[in-house]
Amino acid sequence: MDAFWIILTGALVAATCGLLGCFLLLRKMTMVGDAISHAVLPGIVLAYLVAHTRASLPMLIGAAIFGVLTTIIIEILNKKGKLQIDAAIGVAFTWLFAIGVILVSAFADKVDLDQECVLYGEIAYVPLNTWIVNGQNMGPQTVWILSINFVIILLYIILGYRGLQLTSFDPLFAATLGIATSFWHYSLMSAVSLTTVLSFESVGAIMVVAFLVGPPAIAYMLTDNLPKMLLLSVLSGILAAIGGYFLSSWVNGSIAGAMVSCIGLEFIIALLIKKGKEKTSMEDAAHHIREAGFSKHSP
């Protein structure tokens, strides 16, 4: 049963991150998840100073607030400061992370307080933290939290699909249609922040960042249709979660590492498929050109 809960947890993270990651990829902001993983440290410290406890809930609230703040700073640097998006991400997360380090050293140097103790979870421990209701074991709390988050993100994408699609592909055109591009940007960044923070605590940072980037990139190479891209991203992420668990059991190694390794393997396969399609297309085009030339000069 433990294997089921671990695979289900990985699949939920993969599906949620895969859906959001597609829109981040189209906006050239795939490394926002990694930025958030560093930039939330000040929120963790401030939450501890306010609540005087290392309990998960206040820490997660503080982390989520600074996750959203990170995306706002990135947007300001990109739009107002005219920085390239990768530079804006780098400046924002290093600055906020540095502030967090200063706060820890100044106000919480005697407390075991950092990202490792709050956000960087381990998927193998998921079955241990169960939810008991009236003596009935309802399963791991993590699965319930991630399931609710997945439903929220799925509804958000379904209901806001048109706005997300237009603002991701062509924000200027979307603005001319009267679509509030700022709303969709910040709502997407809020969804990413919520998902990454919740998932960090459950499965660890390496898996979250990998699932935000890998499956969308795989899907992007295989199709240029957004609905198909979303579906392929989810499917490739779930397949990596399943395959990664059995790979880790086989080699007796890290589950998170094995799942991310499966994503890398899927990426290589997708790349080979893409190259094969491109080669076939070029050969077909050359064949049609030769046929056209033959027809032109034939009596």
pLDDT of 296 above 80: no
Residue 293 is predicted with a pLDDT of: 57
CATH topology of domain 2-297: ABC transporter involved in vitamin B12 uptake, BtuC (1.10.3470)
Per-residue pLDDT, 16: 94
**Res 180: pLDDT:** 84
pLDDT by residue (tens digit) across 39-48? Answer: 877 887 888 7
Per-residue pLDDT band for 241 (boundaries 50, 70, 90) equals very high
Residues making up the chain, counted from first to last: 299
CA distance 244 to 248: 6
Residue 3: closest CA among 264, 248, 282, 221:
248
Confidence class for position 235, pLDDT limits 50, 70, 90 = very high
Contact in structure between 93 and 66 (CB atoms under 8 Å): no
pLDDT tens per residue across span 163-190: 999 988 888 888 888 888 888 888 888 8
Collect all residues with Cβ–Cβ distance below 8 Å to 178 and sequence separation of at least 6.
none
Q: Which long-range contacts (CB under 8 A, 24 or more apart) does 116-120 make?
A: 117/54, 118/44, 118/54, 118/56, 118/59, 118/60, 118/63, 118/201, 119/37, 119/40, 119/44, 119/59, 119/63, 119/197, 119/200, 119/201, 119/205, 120/200, 120/204, 120/205
Q: φ, ψ for residue 89 (rounded to 5)?
A: -65, -45
Residue type, 5: W
pLDDT at 116 over 60: no
- Helix, strand and coil content of the chain, in percent to the nearest 5, comes to 80, 5, 15
Please name which of 130, 106, 17, 121 lies closest in space to residue 59, comparing C-alpha atoms: 121
Sketch the domain layout of the chain as residue ranges.
2-297
* Between residues 12 and 114, the one the model is more confident about: 12
188 Cβ contact list (under 8 Å, min separation 6):
20, 23, 24, 164
Kindly report the number of other CB atoms within 10 A of residue 178's CB atom.
6
Rounded CA-CA distance 189/206 in Å is 19
What gap in Å lies between CA 43 and CA 46, rounded to an integer?
5
Confidence of residue 19 (pLDDT cuts 50, 70, 90): very high
> Which residues are CB-contacts of 122 (< 8 A; sequence separation ≥ 6)?
203, 204, 256
Closest to 112 (Cα-Cα) out of 59, 70, 65, 36: 59
Kindly state the average pLDDT of the residues 50-73. Answer: 78
